[in-house]
Chains A and B, each alone.
Chain A
Amino acid sequence: MAANCVRFAASLLGKGVNGASPTNPVTLQLYRQICGTSALRRKNLAAAGPEKFTPEFIQKQIEEFEIGKRHLANMMGEDPENFNQEDIDRSIAYLFPSGLFEKKARPLMKHPDEIFPKQRAVQWGPDRRPFHFLFYTGKQSYYSLMHELYGKVLNIEKHQDRLRAKGLFSTETKQISLGTSRWLTKEELEELLVETISTHDYDRFIQLMERMLSMAYSSLEEEFILRHRQQLEAQTMHQVVPPLQKDDKGVDFSTAEGKRKTSKSSVVVRDGGSGSITINGEDYLHYFPVLQDREQLMFPLQFTGLLGRFDLECTVSGGGRSSQAGALRLAISRALLSFVSEGEGEAMRQAGLLTPDPRVRERKKPGQEGARRKFTWKKR
């Protein structure tokens, strides 16, 4: 509508005033400004992008944060010098208790660097000449990185040539130990360079890094390479293995607990038995008449192959039939961890025996019949 307005005005002008006269541009300009509607102006603002934080603004925020940290430490009666981020979080959670489920919606006090997104400072000086020589490529940090990388590749090749000339070239040099690490993902690289890259650029980057790695003397640039690799967190056991205790009669046993969906269970696994299971004082054949529940109980033992060896004494409360079986299964697998080697425990974790099931009953929402089911839709 706004565009129509402008065109209308222009056509009017065009029709009205035929010859180009020096007064026209002024009137044209005037017309344009008057004709521009508020909608146009609004659209321009949205297209401007997120708010730019000036470095001075960030600096001020940092100072305020430090002062606030000291005030908080004084309030909590702790030492203002050694007040960590954990202490801050603890104090905030104490002073502003929040019952919101979404953790990100709760009150937060963190260093401004973590809160405000990293932005590039102004790239050009007062004479409007850019600082960086690659500014006009558009992605200056990316291209500078590639330039640096290629420079290092050439460096390594020169070193190799020199060694070959001396006759000291050998392929069995110290290789970089990468360990369990992986290349930075595209998002992480973008974060590092504070600018957007395309997938094509990212692929080129990775190709060049791989090429550098494949050369024999890449250990020269080890530090540079490692800066661009992300250590993989070893996904192994973060589980606490329950300790193996000894009974009066010298029988090994261990206790563990498990939860599923409102049922809680606790299991004592004793060694040297014949495979009898008691649940809340009753035989498990009576407690779980359904085969499915008994199969759930059997799964950890069958997986580790220790079916007939243990006696289980279980107590379970809450929930329904299936959730009780699930809680018991979790508790049994946790208790078995102490009887079983590390590798087996890892296998159990990968089988999903040690993961507590996070599914809980979803809340019913107003305006719907159930959690997901909507009321019958009537067309009229």
Chain B
Amino acid sequence: ACHSEKHVGQFYTLPSAHVRPLFPNGLPWRFQHQTKTFNETCIMVRQPALEVISCLKKADYSQPALRYLFYGLKGSGKTLSLCHTVHFCYTQGWLVLHVPDAHLWVKNCKELLPSSYSSSRFDQPLQATTWLRNFKITNEPFLSKIKTKERYVWTKREATEAGSPLGELVDQGISRVKSSSDVVGAVMKELRLQSSQPGADFRMAVAVDGVNALWGRSTIKRQDKTAVDLEELTLVYNLRKLMKNDWSGGAIITTLSQTGSLYTPKSAYLPQELLGERGFDSVDPFIPVSVPNYSEKEFESCYLYYMDRNWLQHPQSRTEEGKKELIFLSNRNPSMLERLCGFL
């Protein structure tokens, strides 16, 4: 996807062959419905995503990985910008480590197991297996190429030898549900080590949506109803290690999300507020990219797209006044506009 600034405001279609492997459940829920209705996946080219893409093109990959953070008001298009960037990385042939929503790992946990690796930590087998499955679908070609460097022992009888392909590791995690979180940790460690090496022929893109979940609070409780600290969750711990800048040969692209976050006020959208002190310190230094509401041109193009797809059925919405009303009512917020047009 070679987009430049000339293409700002235009929609481009993701080929469906890419969509299935890339985003098994990476796209926002409403957007998925829209995709099904329109029978195609179209994302608008917007300024923040273009900035990040241009930075990615020019970045030097022998340096430690750069961190990009999309932030903005609720519903202004952060997740979709992330998906756009991820798609770009995918087309460039990178390995994509996409966490659709980190908040899912931190709340509504149905199963908590004490970790097999270290006794103080807790595992989440369900989320880990889901993630491993998605990872497998997304990065099919890489699974056979990358080899593990160390030997991992799962139980007394099972172990993965050094030099076995990554695919085996992933399969191990999917089949052995109990150790899946440790597998996740192992996968991340491997990839981190390997992409830092100068001889690596692949680059890694770590895309995390709702990264403020990693440093916020969690609602998970133990059996005796005491709250679990986030550091005690294996998945969170490993992901935090990934977010540290100590590896090179890739980029970390993240978004903040207030919608899923726990115990944050609704009006908070700046990185400082949502990440908290600890989070900010760990993510610092990073490149913040603000995602504003639609500009006039972008709004025009979105409106024309809906007209083109015959999505606006109401006769008045096709007139000039109708357009002004839509601008007013949604205040050019992409998600509000989408919801409004949904019942027109």
Residue positions of A touching B, CB distance < 8 A: 275, 277, 282-286, 291, 294-295, 298, 301-302, 305, 307-308
Contact = CB atoms under 8 A, between A and B. Distances in A.
Contact of A282 (B267, B321, B328): B267
A302 B321 contact: yes
A275 B327 contact: yes
Contacts of B331: 277, 283-285
A222 to B, nearest CB: 50
Contacts of B324: 302, 307-308
B329 interface: yes
Interface residues of B, number: 14
A308 B333 contact: no
Interface string B193-212: 00000000000000000000
Interface in B318-344: 321, 324-325, 327-331, 333, 336, 340
Nearest to A291: B329
Contacts of B73: 283, 285-286
B72 to A, nearest CB: 13
Where chain B touches its partner, the secondary structure class is: helix
Contacts of A282: 267
B267 A286 contact: yes
Given A283-B73, A285-B336, 10 more contacts: A275-B328, A285-B73, A285-B330, A285-B331, A294-B329, A298-B325, A298-B329, A301-B328, A302-B328, A308-B324
A346 B330 CA distance: 30
Contacts of B266: 286
Nearest to A285: B331
B182 to A, nearest CB: 42
Given A282-B267, A286-B267, A302-B321, A307 B336 contact: no
Contact of A305 (B321, B327, B330, B340): B321
Top 7 A-B pairs, shortest CB-CB distance? A307-B324, A285-B331, A298-B328, A294-B329, A307-B328, A308-B324, A285-B333
A291 B340 contact: yes
5 contacts: A275-B328, A285-B336, A298-B325, A298-B329, A308-B324
Nearest to B333: A285
Contacts of B329: 291, 294-295, 298
A307 B325 contact: yes
Nearest to A282: B267
B321 A308 contact: no
A345 to B, nearest CB: 20
Contacts of B325: 298, 302, 307
A308 B329 CA distance: 12
Contacts of A285: 73, 330-331, 333, 336
A139 to B, nearest CB: 60
A305 B328 CA distance: 12
Given A285-B333, A291-B340, A302-B321, A308 B327 contact: yes
